[in-house]
Amino acid sequence: MQIQLNGEMQTVPPHLKTVDDLIKHFKLNNKILVVEHNRHVLTREMHPTTRLSDGDCIEIVHFVGGG
């Protein structure tokens, strides 16, 4: 499946069915995230039920501490 992830086309394995699967695949599940799916910001509760489709546009932003 092809999706646009943070502005770049990516081929993701077909077993990734939801936004939650995608987050776990990239080992981001322990981070504070904001996820946008086709221009709609998702709450964390929506990640397991939001299905991925070929051509979806996903933006994932996570926060990094520093000083």
As given in the structure block, the two tokens for residue 38 are 């086709």
The domains located in the chain, with CATH, are: 2-59 (3.10.20.30)
As given in the structure block, the two tokens for residue 65 are 């501490």
- Chain centroid to CA 60: 6
Q: What pTM value is reported for the model?
A: 0.89
Task: Report the pLDDT value the prediction gives residue 62, as an integer from 0 to 100.
Answer: 86
| Beta partners for residue 48, in sequence order | none
Beta-carbon contacts of 64 under 8 Å, excluding residues fewer than 6 positions away, are none
Better-predicted residue by pLDDT, 19 or 63: 19
Which tens digit of pLDDT belongs to each residue from 11-33? 999 999 999 999 999 999 899 99
